[in-house]
């Protein structure tokens, strides 16, 4: 992997997460934490994709890394864990697959019956990738919280 591509991914993840932090009214002092989680998410996902993982698995691993990092650093930030995790993972939402799915479904509605089969299959495939990727991100973010709850419950 080329270092400039990796640096590009990290920078874009940091900028996107910071932008969503602004949209979520995060304090200016906490925006670097949002940037760090976004950079971590895209760094892990990029490394996994370069290692041959599929998109959904790489997104799961990146969300898991963000969830663990946020859990580990929660005492150092004044921002809620949920907001910090979400702003870090928003840059991983598969917008291009969602756009392909929507445009494919619109195209199916405008085509005659016989020509629509291939377009419908492509649209459904893109829709499934969006669903599985968002599910993987949500699962990856939830696992650290669930594991910590189990650990605390066993201590009591």
**Domain extent for 34:** 3-155
pLDDT by residue (tens digit) across 29-83? Answer: 889 999 999 999 999 999 999 999 999 999 999 999 999 999 888 777 777 888 8
Mean pLDDT of the residues in the chain:
89
pTM reported for the whole predicted model? 0.86
Number of domains present in the structure of the chain: 1
Q: Is 2 or 129 the better-scoring residue by pLDDT?
A: 129
d(CA 103, CA 123): 8
Share of the chain above pLDDT 90, in %: 62
């Amino acid at each position: 992997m080329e270092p400039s591509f990796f640096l590009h991914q990290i920078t874009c993840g940091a900028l996107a997460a910071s932008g969503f932090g602004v949209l979520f009214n995060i304090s200016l002092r906490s925006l670097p934490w949002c940037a760090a989680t976004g950079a971590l998410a895209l760094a892990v996902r990029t490394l996994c994709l370069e290692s041959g993982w599929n998109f959904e698995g790489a997104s799961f691993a990146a969300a898991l890394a963000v969830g663990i990092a946020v859990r580990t650093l929660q005492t150092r930030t004044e921002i809620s864990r949920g907001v910090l995790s979400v702003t870090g993972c928003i840059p991983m939402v598969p917008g291009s697959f969602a756009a392909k799915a929507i445009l494919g479904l619109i195209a199916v509605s405008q085509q005659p019956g016989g020509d629509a089969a291939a377009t419908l299959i492509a649209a459904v495939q893109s829709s499934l990738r969006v669903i599985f990727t968002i599910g993987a991100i949500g699962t990856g973010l939830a696992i650290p919280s669930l594991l910590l709850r189990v650990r605390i419950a066993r201590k009591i």
